[in-house]
Homo-oligomer: A and B are copies of this chain.
Amino acid sequence: MAMHPHLHPPAPGPAAAQAEPSAPFLRACRGLPTPYTPVWFMRQAGRYMPEYRALRAQASLLELIRSPEMAAQITLQPIEAFDLDAAIIFADILPPLAGMGLSLQFVKGEGPQIDNPLQRPYDIDLLATPPAHETLAPTLEAIRLVVKELAPRGVPLIGFAGAPFTLASYAIEGGASRSYTKTKALMYGKPAAWKRLMLKLVTVQADYLLAQAKAGASALQIFDSWAGQALSREAYRRYVQPYNQMLFETVRRAGVPVINFSTGAAAYIDEVAAAGGDVIGADWRMPLGWYWERIGQDRPIQGNLDPTLLLAPWRELKFHVDALLAEAAGRPGHIFNVGHGILPETPVDQVRRLVDYVHEQTRRGA
């Protein structure tokens, strides 16, 4: 029931500096055969790495993100350490909200915090929609720096942004939430204001994603991390899917593969997939085959190891990885990943062993 063709030909575009399209990760994004299953991990640059913690000790999260040199360095850390098939720019989904006029900070032990969350419909009308090159220039510059390093090695770089619902939930709740009460109260109770907010977010996020591709990102991932956690299928269809669809439709123009990632949406993954994206990011809740049955057997999937398994002994981790690879059965269009971000407690050696193991187990005859 895909509402637009999800496999589009590599369009002409600003691909000059980008990794060659023969990289296994990019081929898998197009559903093409690869010599082995490509691997990368959400949050692969982050707190579980001592190299990252050393930099983080000197600067806040937002300082690191806003320094192109630091962000580039962090992006490359896991690429130096492991045999990963893609890098993802070190950034966060929330800085676009700061550009729109919300006061964003990360509070130690508390996570993100917005001091002036959206409380009335009028607050939505006051939100700015500046272009990414004005408010998110450091991340775009970091992408240019990273691509210079990665292009010669043939490693693609992934850019990313949050989907409108997920960003709206932070903008309205003022931080992380368990029940998304205020967000859903606005969504259900003030549909006109909700629509204005979603449209503003689509504008800002589409521009940001296109700018990341222009700066050299070879693929893009859109995180709708909380829609599936928060919403019924019916609410997703009415209040979220149309805006995600607009966003995916607009971002196609970049001519790079786009990954549509959500969590907690297994039961209505067909609706999530219908919003768009070349690749569907699956969380760990159901086996890969279950997702393929619902989104179409030829739609590429990225996923879906429970990241907590990286904290288990290798024997247990291996058992689950074997089951996952058996589900994928060596078909084209599988990108190995975790079903949610890597946890800060993850042992570095376990990550290395896992990457190598997936490559070995999936290597196909020349």
Is A235 positioned at the interface, with any CB of B under 8 Å from its CB?
yes
With both chains docked as a complex, state the minimum distance between the C-beta of A178 and any C-beta of chain B, in angstroms. Answer: 7
Which candidate, A53-61, A114-122, A124-132, A309-317, is the interface stretch facing chain B? A309-317
* List of B residues within 8 angstroms of A286 by Cβ: 232-233, 267-268
**Cβ A313 vs Cβ B264 within 8 A:** no
Is A180 positioned at the interface, with any CB of B under 8 Å from its CB?
yes
Is A308 positioned at the interface, with any CB of B under 8 Å from its CB?
yes
Q: A231 to B320: give the CA distance in the assembly, Å.
A: 13
Q: A353 to B268: give the CA distance in the assembly, Å.
A: 31
For the complex, count residues of A whose C-beta is within 8 A of B: 36
**Cβ B343 vs Cβ A181 within 8 A:** yes
Q: Tell me the nearest residue of chain B to A264, going by C-beta.
A: B264
Which candidate, A184-192, A245-253, A358-366, is the interface stretch facing chain B? A184-192
* List of B residues within 8 angstroms of A287 by Cβ: 232-234
**Cβ A232 vs Cβ B306 within 8 A:** yes
Report 28 cross-chain contacts, Cβ distance below 8 Å, ordered by A residue.
Answer: A176-B178, A178-B178, A179-B340, A181-B308, A181-B343, A181-B345, A184-B308, A185-B308, A185-B311, A185-B345, A188-B308, A188-B311, A188-B312, A189-B312, A189-B313, A189-B316, A229-B264, A232-B285, A232-B286, A232-B287, A233-B286, A233-B287, A234-B323, A266-B266, A266-B267, A267-B290, A268-B285, A268-B286
